[in-house]
Structure 1
Amino acid sequence: MSFSLESFQLGDIITGKIIKIEPTGVLVDFYTHQLAYVPLLELSLNEIQSPEEAVQLNEIREFLVVGNYDGEHDIFFSHCSSETLKDSDRLYEVTLDLASKKCGHSISREDLIVHTKIRDVHGSGVSATIQWFLCSQEHPPTVYFSIRKLEMRKAWERVRQLQTEDVTVYGKILKKTSRGALVKIEGLRGTVLTYVDKHREELIVGEEFPLNIIKVREDCNHVVLLNRSVSIRLRQLQVGQLVSGTIRRIKDYGVFVDIGDLYALLPTSKMFHPSVDHPNQFFKINHHLKANIIKIDPENGQVVLESCESSA
Structure 2
Amino acid sequence: MHAIVIEKPGDPDVLHWVEVPDPVIGHDEVLLDVVAAGVNRADILQRRGFYPPPEGASEYPGLEVAGRVAAVGDGVTGWNVGDEACALLSGGGYATRVAVPAGQLLPVPRGLSLVEAASLPEAACTVWSNVFMLARLRAGESLLVHGGSSGIGTMAIQLAKARGARVLCTAGTEEKLERCRELGADVAINYRTEDFAEAARPVDVILDIIGAKYLPRNIDALGTGGRLVVIGMQGGGVGELDLGRLLTKRASVHATSLRARPLDEKAEIVAAVRADVWPLLEAGTVRPIVHRTLPMADAAAAHRVMEESTHVGKIVLTV
Question: TM-score normalised to the size of structure 1?
Answer: 0.24
Structure having the higher strand fraction is 1
Structure having the higher helix fraction is 2
Question: TM-score normalised to the size of structure 2?
Answer: 0.24
* Greater relative CO, 1 or 2 (CA 8 Å, sep 6+): 2
